[in-house]
């Protein structure tokens, strides 16, 4: 039995500007490799479509929104670049967290002023609103803002501008959840 000092690291974070450049390069690579951009809400949407198709296939077929994402050849809607991108993001983030000391015990991160439960409820409510909004706006922060503006889509630009703009406006009302 040899003694080993487990490296207790300080969590390391990358310079945000540098990180942004890397993310942009990654987006470029995504266009090059997969022929399309990134979208986290898109991956979630495909999950929803799969579940609806499993539970109520007739309803899914008849609905204009769902039927667009159900492939005609019978394969799963999950057989899509976005899903694998999301899986890769999850594990890549985990790997990065492990190497740079950010991977700790599973916990809910929240402001010390509120409880974990409040944080989860607020996250859930916000998530629902964001889900509705992202589908109306055809994209989220990665789909419309990143990939949309990368392809100079005017709609993407508007979604991004309003997403962050309205966020700034409403931040004042929810500041107690954070500071």
Applying CB under 8 A, the residues found at the interface with other proteins are 1, 4-7, 79, 84, 87, 91, 94-95, 98-99, 101, 103, 105-106
> What is the nearest approach in angstroms of other proteins to the Cβ of residue 72?
16
Q: What CA–CA distance (Å, rounded) separates 134 from 153?
A: 15
Q: How far apart are CA 81 and CA 77, in angstroms?
A: 10
For the bound state, the minimum distance from the C-beta of residue 71 to other proteins, rounded and expressed in Å, comes to 13
Sign of CA dihedral 60, 64, 66, 70: positive
Query: CB under 8 Å to 173, separation ≥6 — which residues?
Result: none
Q: Which is nearer to other proteins, 3 or 15 (CB)?
A: 3
By beta-carbon proximity to other proteins, the closer residue of 107 and 175 is 107
Tell me how far, at minimum, the Cβ of 78 lies from other proteins, in Å.
11
Of 94 and 132, the one with the shorter C-beta distance to other proteins is: 94
3-state secondary structure of 26: helix
């Amino acid at each position: 039995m040899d003694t080993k000092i487990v490296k207790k690291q300080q969590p390391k974070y990358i310079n945000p500007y540098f990180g942004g450049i890397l993310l942009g390069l990654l987006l470029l690579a995504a266009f090059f490799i997969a022929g399309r951009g990134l979208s986290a809400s898109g991956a979630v949407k495909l999950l929803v479509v799969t579940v609806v198709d499993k539970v109520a296939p007739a309803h899914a077929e008849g609905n204009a929104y769902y039927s667009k994402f159900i492939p005609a050849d019978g394969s799963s809607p999950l057989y899509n670049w976005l899903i694998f991108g999301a899986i890769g993001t999850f594990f890549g983030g985990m790997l990065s967290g492990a190497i740079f000391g950010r991977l700790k015990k599973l916990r809910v991160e929240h402001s010390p002023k509120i409880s974990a439960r409040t944080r989860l409820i607020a996250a859930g409510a916000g998530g629902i609103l964001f889900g509705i909004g992202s589908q109306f706006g055809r994209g989220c922060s990665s789909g419309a803002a990143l990939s949309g503006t990368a392809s100079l889509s005017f709609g993407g630009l508007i979604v991004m501008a309003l997403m962050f703009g309205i966020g700034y406006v409403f931040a004042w009302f929810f500041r107690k959840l954070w500071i």
